[in-house]
Every structure is written in structure tokens, then in C-alpha cells.
């Protein structure tokens, strides 16, 4: 990371100073893909030890009963967990809209604003249910006009365009196996018209490749391109099963990849070709993915997973701690289309993560940045978002954590009882 302004005085008058001489300072971490609601179905017995498709079909029936109050608690818990791990910008991909849960994104916006966290929220969608050959049950799919109208409403109401935006909205059909080709194309048109970003899951498993071949007669990336999505407006979750030619096409287009190592390991999906994608020109960011697959929302811990998993494919000299920190900061920011976060240079937003190396796991460490990943940092001591402390002493500000966990746990029980 480039060092600037060392030893200089701020140009503006300051009303508070903080001695960070005992801290390791990182730009606030940026998470690029999550499903907050899945914190309610972590380590759920019927879904354990499965690959993606059977895992999904088991859980869809539980998720179909989600309601607004459960959604609010799940979002708050996930955002607090991310914040405590040093994450200052959270992205979420919410695509389950049932009769009891129509205002999921509004509820996430309200929660993010109350917590003071920067949020890239995506209006997900599913329009092809089991009756039409898709994976999700009919109760959680919506008709396409409803999806398009609600997407436009959310953009108009919440999407901020200025530098330092706290809330942005992107459009995010769930996956090739849960929306129609028409909705993919319409989403691309709507995103272009409104100048917002596009997000979806792609190339997560070999099953998905086979599904696309069978249904569309083409591979997932060809389908993406055919739908008008192969652009620098798009960032994709996972991006594992691309061949050499596809990686070059993604790089030329500048399409971003949200790398989700823990989720990919839990579901046995494979290893993302991060270094080839970066070399080809794609922004590569880091993500914890949904908490029902990776079962955690800790981005500091995810950096360690990315380092370890990366070294199974590449050499240790290629997947360094600096490279992984770059993915979790600048790379993630680029995936979200942001140039004002992810760095510590003058002109960047005041989003900071400060870690202390005062736990037994760090004792004896020489290189503080490497220690965060190799010794396994779990929790930031302090986190600042947009110039406001949101975590101090390892605890989230203005949040009763015990009460939140008690209410969240009860909501999870309630949801499990509903099926
Ligand atoms: Zn996901």
C-alpha cells in the first residue's frame, strides 16, 4: 500500500485525535456478495453436507416462509458481524420475495442507515419456479413486471450517485436457473437506462454449466453475453468454472468477480482462477457469501481463507497477504463500481479498520500485516465509516449485541418451525 502524507498535519481543523500507534490500520474492508437472510439458517441439519443444487432445494422451502421482521433481524445481525470484522461497506444480494416479505430491500436500507454502514444493496429476483423447470418453489417467484416495477421504485427512492454514497441499489436476478432470459435482458436494459450496476451468480458449479448447455444450448458466460451482461457494469459471484478464452473475454469487458472462498469450500464448488482473471483485466473482490453456505459473515476471517485456498492453486509467492488485502479493499471497491473507497489515500472516504495484535494468537508475530491473515484476525478493535466510529473496543456502537443475538436466534427458531 502506498504511503502518503506521513508526518504531515491535516489541512482541515480537527476536533478529535486518536493515537493509533498500537493498531494495524487497513482501509475499511469491502464485502461484495452476501445473503443476509441466510444467517437464520446457519448450520441447518437437513442442508448439511450437500452440493449447491440439493442444498438450494432443501433450503428454498424454509426461506419461502421469511417475513419482514425476520429479515430485519437477519440483516442487522449480518451487518454487525461484518462491521466487527473490519468491514465498512456491505453488499447484499436478496432474491427471496414471498407474500410475507415484499419490502425486504427497504428494510435493509433502513437497517444499514441506522447502523451507519455503507451498503450496496441489490434487488434480486427469481421468476422461473419449479412448475416451469426452475429450482425454486412457486411461492418465492414473482412475475417479471412486478420485479421490473419494484426495481425502478428502489432505484428512484434509494440509489445515491454522489461520491461518498452510503446507499446504492443494483439489479440482481438470482442465477441462470431461476430467472428467464427475458428478465436477464430487461435487467440489463434497466441498469443501462438508470446507470446502476448488475450482479448475479455465475459459473459456481459444473451442474450450472450442464443446466445452461441443456436449457440454452450454451455455456454460462455465452448466456451472460447473449443477455447483454458482459460489461464493466457487472460483477459476478463465484466465477469459478471459466475456461481460458472466457477469462480473456471477462477481462476485456472489465466484468468483476466476487471471490467467495469459504462458501466454495463448504459446498465443494471449486477454486476461482483469481490471478488469471486479475491479469486479464477483471476486478477481483472478496466476499463471505450467504451465511447458510459459508456460515459466517467475517471478512477478516475470509481473507485468511482466500490466502490458504489460493495457495492450493498458485504458489505462495503469488498469493501473498498483500494480494488478498488488495482483493478485500481496492478489488472489492472496483467490483462495486467505486473509486472513493478501498484505499487510504487523501481524497478517499474516511472508512478505516483498526486491529490490535494483543491476543495470544498474535504473540511473537513480526510482520503486523501478514499477522492479520496468518495468525487469523477475527475482530477489529475500531472501525470508522464515513468519519464516524461504528466499532470501539471491539464492540459495535449503539447496538445491544446480546439483545440482538437473542432476538435473532428466536427468529431463526421461528423460521425453522414454520416448515
Ligand atoms: Zn450467493
Query: What distance in angstroms lies between residue 64's CA and the mean position of ligand 1's atoms?
Result: 17
CATH number, position 241: 3.20.20.140
Distance from Cα 237 to the centre of ligand 1, integer Å: 6
Kindly give the distance from the C-alpha atom of residue 201 to the centroid of ligand 1, in angstroms, as a whole number.
Answer: 6
Which band of pLDDT confidence, cut at 50, 70 and 90, is reported for residue 10? confident
Does a structural domain hold residue 206? Answer: yes
Exposed, middle or buried, 25 (CB in 10 Å: 0-12/13-18/19+)? middle
For 256-280, letters b (16+ CB in 10 Å) and e give: bbbbbbbbbbbbebbebbbebbbeb
Q: If we measure between CA atoms, which residue out of 216, 136, 131 comes closest to residue 173? A: 136
What is the pLDDT averaged over residues 266-292? Answer: 94
102 in any annotated domain: yes
Rounded to the nearest angstrom, the distance between the alpha carbon of 124 and the centre of ligand 1 is: 11
Residue 416's pLDDT is 92
With vertex at residue 134, the alpha carbon angle to CA 31 and CA 59, rounded to the nearest 5 degrees, is 55
> Which pLDDT band, with edges at 50, 70 and 90, does 12 fall under?
confident
Among 290-304, 333-347, 359-373, 405-419, the range scoring the smallest mean pLDDT is 290-304
Q: Is residue 91 part of a domain?
A: yes
- Please, are residues 223 and 176 in contact by the beta-carbon 8 Å criterion? yes
395, 401 contact by CB (below 8 A):
yes
Is the pLDDT confidence value at 3 over 60? no
Q: Is the pLDDT of residue 372 over 50?
A: yes
Q: In angstroms, what CA-CA distances link 322 with 234, 303, 306, 327, 370?
A: 25, 10, 12, 9, 8
Mean pLDDT of 201-220: 94
Residue span of the structural domain in which 188 resides: 29-342
Ligand 1 mean position to 78 CA, how many Å? 14
| pLDDT attached to residue 5 | 62
Q: Could you tell me the distance, in angstroms and rounded to a whole number, from the CA of residue 149 to the centre of ligand 1?
A: 24
Where would I find the beta strands (DSSP E) of 189-290?
198-202, 234-238, 256-259, 284-286
- Is the pLDDT score of 170 beyond 80? yes
CA of 287 to the centre of ligand 1 (A): 9
- Evaluate whether residue 370 is within a structural domain: no
Question: Is the pTM higher than 0.85?
Answer: yes
Count the domains in the chain.
Answer: 1
- Cα(367) to ligand 1 centroid in Å equals 33
* Beta strands 382-385; 352-356: pairing state: antiparallel
Q: How close is the Cα of 290 to the center of ligand 1, in Å? A: 5
Answer yes or no: is 301 within a domain: yes
Residue in this structure with the C-alpha cell 445473503, named with its chain if needed: 35
Judge whether 352 lies within some domain: no
In the chain, % of residues over pLDDT 70: 98
Q: Residue 381 gets which letter from DSSP?
A: S
Cα 35 to middle of ligand 1, angstroms? 6
Residue range 173-193, pLDDT digits in tens: 999 888 999 999 999 999 999
**What is the rounded average pLDDT of the residues 200-226?**
95
Coil vs helix vs strand at 196: coil
pLDDT value of position 419: 81
What residues contact residue 152 under an 8 Å CB cut-off, 6+ apart? 190, 194
Q: What is the mean pLDDT of residues 69-98?
A: 96
Better-predicted residue by pLDDT, 178 or 282:
282
Whether pLDDT at 2 is above 70? no
Does residue 205 come out as left (phi exceeding 0), alpha (psi in the -120 to 50 range) or beta? beta
**Ligand 1 center to residue 16 CA distance, Å?**
40
In a domain, 65, yes or no: yes
33: CA distance to ligand 1 center in Å?
6
End-to-end CA distance of the chain: 50
> Is residue 402 situated within a structural domain?
no
Q: How many angstroms separate the alpha carbon of residue 93 from the centre of ligand 1? A: 7
Predicted pLDDT at 134: 85
Whole-number Å distance, alpha carbon 200 to ligand 1 midpoint, is 8
Q: 395 CA to middle of ligand 1, Å?
A: 27
Amino acid at each position: 500500500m502506498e504511503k502518503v502524507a506521513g508526518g504531515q498535519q491535516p489541512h482541515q481543523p480537527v476536533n478529535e485525535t486518536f493515537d493509533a500507534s498500537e493498531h494495524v490500520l487497513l482501509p475499511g474492508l469491502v464485502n461484495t456478495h452476501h445473503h443476509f437472510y441466510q444467517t437464520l439458517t446457519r448450520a441447518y441439519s437437513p442442508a448439511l453436507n450437500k452440493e449447491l443444487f440439493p442444498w438450494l432445494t432443501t433450503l428454498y422451502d424454509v426461506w419461502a416462509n421469511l417475513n419482514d421482521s425476520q429479515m430485519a433481524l437477519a440483516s442487522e445481525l449480518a451487518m454487525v458481524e461484518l462491521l466487527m470484522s473490519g468491514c465498512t461497506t456491505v453488499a447484499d444480494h436478496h432474491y427471496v420475495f414471498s407474500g410475507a416479505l415484499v419490502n425486504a430491500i427497504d428494510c435493509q436500507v433502513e437497517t444499514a442507515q441506522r447502523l451507519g454502514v455503507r451498503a450496496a444493496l441489490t434487488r434480486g429476483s427469481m421468476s422461473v419456479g419449479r412448475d416451469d423447470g426452475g429450482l425454486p418453489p412457486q411461492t418465492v417467484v414473482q412475475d417479471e413486471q412486478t420485479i421490473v416495477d419494484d426495481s425502478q421504485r428502489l432505484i428512484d427512492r434509494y440509489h445515491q450517485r454522489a461520491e461518498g454514497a452510503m446507499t446504492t441499489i443494483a439489479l440482481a436476478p438470482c442465477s441462470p436457473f431461476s430467472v428467464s432470459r427475458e428478465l436477464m435482458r430487461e435487467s440489463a436494459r434497466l441498469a443501462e437506462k438508470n446507470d446502476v450496476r448488475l450482479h448475479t451468480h455465475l459459473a459456481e458449479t459444473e451442474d450450472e454449466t450442464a443446466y445452461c448447455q441443456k436449457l440454452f444450448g450454451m455455456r454460462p458466460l455465452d448466456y451472460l453475453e447473449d443477455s447483454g451482461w458482459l460489461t464493466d457494469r457487472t460483477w459476478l459471484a463465484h466465477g469459478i468454472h471459466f475456461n481460458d478464452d472466457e477469462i480473456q473475454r471477462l477481462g476485456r469487458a472489465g466484468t468483476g468477480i466476487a471471490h467467495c472462498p469459504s462458501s466454495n469450500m463448504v459446498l465443494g464448488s471449486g477454486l476461482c482462477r483469481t490471478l488469471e482473471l486479475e491479469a486479464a483485466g477483471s476486478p477481483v473482490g472478496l466476499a463471505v457469501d450467504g451465511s447458510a453456505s459459508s456460515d459466517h459473515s467475517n471478512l477478516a476471517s475470509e481473507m485468511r481463507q482466500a490466502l490458504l485456498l489460493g495457495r492450493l492453486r498458485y504458489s505462495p509467492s503469488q498469493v501473498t497477504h498483500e494480494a488478498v488485502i488488495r482483493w478485500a479493499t481496492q478489488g472489492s471497491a472496483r467490483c462495486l463500481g467505486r473509486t472513493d473507497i478501498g484505499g487510504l489515500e487523501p481524497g478517499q472516504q474516511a472508512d478505516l479498520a483498526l486491529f490490535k495484535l494483543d491476543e495470544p494468537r498474535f504473540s511473537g508475530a513480526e510482520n503486523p500485516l501478514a499477522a492479520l491473515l496468518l495468525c487469523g484476525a477475527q475482530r477489529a478493535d475500531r472501525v470508522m465509516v464515513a468519519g464516524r466510529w461504528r466499532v470501539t473496543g471491539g464492540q459495535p456502537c449503539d447496538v445491544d449485541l446480546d439483545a440482538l443475538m437473542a432476538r435473532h436466534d428466536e427468529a431463526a427458531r421461528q423460521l425453522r418451525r414454520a416448515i
